[in-house]
C-alpha cells in the first residue's frame, strides 16, 4: 500500500474545506439522493461523497457502507484521487501497487473496483470526491465516465447551495441558518458526552452611529472586522456566526462559564488592540451575554439563545446607563 502524498496546495485546500463548515454536519437528503442515484445508475454496492480533511476522509453521504462516517486519510482511496484533475479509475485494486495492501482491499469491505471523481470548491480547490466502489473488478467506459462527471457536478452545485444558504455573504462566517444547524448538532454532541457548553450573544454598541456618520460601507467594514476578530479569537471547533444586523453568536463546546470568561477576556483584549492598532474613525464596542447550557432551564437551542440574548440586553442597558 502506498500512502498518498499531500497536494501542493494542501494548506489552502484545507482552509477552503474548513470554511465551508460542512465537516461533521448531519446527513442531508440533497446529497443522499445523489449517492443513491449513483449506486443505482452504476449498479455498484457503495457510493460515497467524501471530503478529505487533515487526517481523515469524512463522508457527507454514503450508501452501502453501513453507519461509517469517516476513515483515516492513510487508507483513503480518495486521498489519491484528489491529487489528479481527472477522475481516478482503479479496475482491480489487488493489481494496483497503491492499493493492493490496503486494509480495505485485504479486509472489509474488500474493495476491488474504485472510481473517484474530484469535487471542487467554487474557488477551484479539490475538497474530496464522489466515488463508486465495488467488491468485484470491473471496467469503466467513456459514457460511464461522463455520467459520473455529471453527478459530481451536481454534488458541487449542492455544496454551493449549502454555502449560499448557511454562510453570511458579507463576513464569510455562518449566518443564522448555518448557526442553528451547527450549534444544534454541537449541543446534541455536548449532551451526549456530558460536556458543558456555553452560548455567547454579541451585539455591537452604537453601530447605527457608524453607519450614520461614516456611511454604510464603513458600517460593513466594521462588521467584517468584528467577524474576523471573533474568528481569530475562538477555536475552529466553536460555532461562530452573524445572526443578522450587528448581532453575532458563538457556541462553545466543552467549556463552562469560567472558561468562557477567560476566552472572552482574551477576545476583549484583541478588540482593544485592534482599536489601537487599526485606528478607524470609531472604536468597535460590543455588549455580550454568556449563558451556560442547563438542561433544566433550556429546552432547546432556541431557549439557550434567548437567555443569552436577554442577558446581553441587560448588560447593554447597564453600559448605556453608565455612559450616561
Ligand X SMILES: Nc1nc2c(ncn2[C@@H]2O[C@H](COP(=O)(O)OP(=O)(O)OP(=O)(O)O)[C@@H](O)[C@H]2O)c(=O)[nH]1
Catalytic residues: 246
221-244 burial code (b ≥16 CB/10 A, e <16): ebbbbbbebbbebbeeebbbbbbe
**Sites for ligand X among residues 3-22 (CB under 6 A):** none
CB-nearest residue to ligand X: 219
Q: Cα–Cα distances in Å, from 227 out to 103, 215, 231, 241? A: 44, 19, 6, 8
Residue 271: all three cell numbers together:
478588540
Interaction of residue 66 with ligand X, rule CB under 6 A:
no
Interaction of residue 245 with ligand X, rule CB under 6 A:
yes
Task: Please give the full DSSP string across 68-92, using - where no structure is assigned.
Answer: --EEESTT-SHHHHTT-SSPEEES-
Q: Of 27-35, 174-182, 201-209, 232-240, which segment contacts ligand X by CB under 6 A?
A: 201-209
Interaction of residue 211 with ligand X, rule CB under 6 A:
yes
Which runs of consecutive H residues, i.e. helices, occur in 194-256? 207-214, 216-233
**Angle subtended by helix axes 10-20 and 142-166, to nearest 10:** 60
Q: Binding string, 143-182, against ligand X, x = CB under 6 A?
A: ---------------------------x------------
Q: Of 40-48, 186-194, 203-211, 233-241, which segment contacts ligand X by CB under 6 A?
A: 203-211
Q: How far is the CB of 308 from ligand X (least distance, A)?
A: 15
Q: How far is the CB of 242 from ligand X (least distance, A)?
A: 9
Q: Of 53-61, 134-142, 217-225, 288-296, which segment contacts ligand X by CB under 6 A?
A: 217-225
Residue 242 to residue 279: CA distance in whole angstroms: 23
Interaction of residue 84 with ligand X, rule CB under 6 A:
no
Residue numbers at the binding site for ligand X (CB under 6 A) = 170, 203-209, 211, 216, 219-220, 223, 245-246, 316
Amino acid at each position: 500500500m502506498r500512502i498518498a502524498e499531500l497536494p501542493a496546495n494542501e494548506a489552502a485546500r484545507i482552509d477552503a474545506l474548513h470554511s465551508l463548515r460542512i465537516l461533521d454536519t448531519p446527513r442531508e437528503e440533497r446529497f443522499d439522493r445523489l449517492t443513491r442515484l449513483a449506486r443505482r445508475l452504476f449498479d455498484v454496492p457503495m457510493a460515497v461523497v467524501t471530503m478529505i480533511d487533515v487526517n481523515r476522509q469524512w463522508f457527507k453521504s454514503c450508501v452501502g457502507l453501513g453507519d461509517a462516517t469517516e476513515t483515516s486519510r492513510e487508507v483513503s482511496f480518495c486521498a489519491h484521487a484528489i491529487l489528479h484533475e481527472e477522475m481516478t479509475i482503479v479496475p482491480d485494486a489487488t493489481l494496483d501497487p497503491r492499493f493492493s495492501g490496503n486494509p480495505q482491499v485485504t479486509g472489509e469491505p474488500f474493495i476491488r473496483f474504485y472510481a473517484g471523481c474530484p469535487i471542487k470548491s467554487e474557488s477551484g480547490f479539490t475538497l474530496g470526491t464522489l466515488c463508486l466502489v465495488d467488491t468485484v473488478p470491473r471496467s469503466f467506459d467513456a459514457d460511464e465516465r461522463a455520467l459520473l462527471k455529471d453527478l459530481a457536478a451536481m454534488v458541487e452545485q449542492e455544496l454551493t447551495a449549502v454555502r449560499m444558504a448557511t454562510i453570511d455573504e458579507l463576513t464569510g462566517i455562518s449566518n443564522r441558518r448555518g448557526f442553528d444547524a451547527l450549534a444544534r448538532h454541537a449541543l446534541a454532541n455536548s449532551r451526549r458526552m456530558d460536556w458543558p457548553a456555553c452560548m455567547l450573544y454579541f451585539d455591537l454598541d452604537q453601530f447605527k452611529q457608524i453607519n450614520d456618520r461614516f456611511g454604510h460601507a464603513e458600517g460593513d467594514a466594521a462588521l467584517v472586522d468584528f467577524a474576523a476578530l471573533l474568528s481569530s479569537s475562538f477555536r475552529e471547533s466553536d460555532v461562530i456566526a452573524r445572526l443578522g444586523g450587528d448581532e453575532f453568536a458563538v457556541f462553545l463546546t466543552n467549556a463552562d462559564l469560567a472558561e468562557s470568561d477567560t476566552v472572552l477576556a482574551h477576545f476583549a483584549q484583541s478588540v482593544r488592540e485592534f482599536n489601537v492598532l487599526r485606528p478607524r474613525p470609531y472604536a468597535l464596542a460590543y455588549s455580550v451575554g454568556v449563558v451556560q447550557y442547563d438542561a433544566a432551564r433550556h429546552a432547546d437551542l432556541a431557549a439557550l439563545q434567548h437567555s443569552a440574548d436577554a442577558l446581553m440586553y441587560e448588560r447593554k442597558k447597564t453600559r448605556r446607563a453608565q455612559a450616561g
